[in-house]
Structure 1
């Protein structure tokens, strides 16, 4: 985002708003990931410890989510680049 047309105080304010939005988005994504992987992988509540099967499931769930997020991010970047060329 280009805030060059704003004065210093306005620019700092806008940058803070963007940073807060990014942090909220990150926390929302993290919470969603934790919830999804927990629901999909944790099913034995008879023990305090996470079983090796559950741990493996969580690892795979997280890896899959991160790969998917990276792929979606790459596609958005490519589409954005195409739009900027037009």
Structure 2
């Protein structure tokens, strides 16, 4: 980015931010759809039942925890690669 003008840097940053927002919205949409499909199955009431609400809470919690763990593993792998250990260093 050192070879870019200030205007080009701003434009590049705007493109990156737009892509990040698009990716975030895709992840959020996927989470909503997955938990809805798994937890909501009674359409005879306007409200969400206690059972459905509990299921949704567990679904979201599990997704967030797994996403956090994947992020940690990615960071660990990235750190290992930066140290020259390769992508699978320290996993055995």
TM over 0.5: yes
Where does structure 1 lack aligned partners over 5 or more consecutive residues? none
How many Å separate the matches in 2 of 1:25 and 1:42? 25
Runs of 4+ in 1 over 6 A off after TM superposition: none
Where does structure 2 lack aligned partners over 5 or more consecutive residues? 85-92
CA shift, 1:4, in A, is 2.7
- TM-score, scaled relative to structure 2: 0.87
How many Å separate the matches in 1 of 2:73 and 2:3? 30
The structure carrying a bigger helix percent of its residues is: 1
- TM-score, scaled relative to structure 1: 0.93
CA RMSD of aligned residues (A): 0.8
The structure, 1 or 2, with the larger RCO (C-alpha pairs under 8 Å, 6+ apart) is 1
Aligned length: 84
The alignment partner of 2:2 has SS state of coil
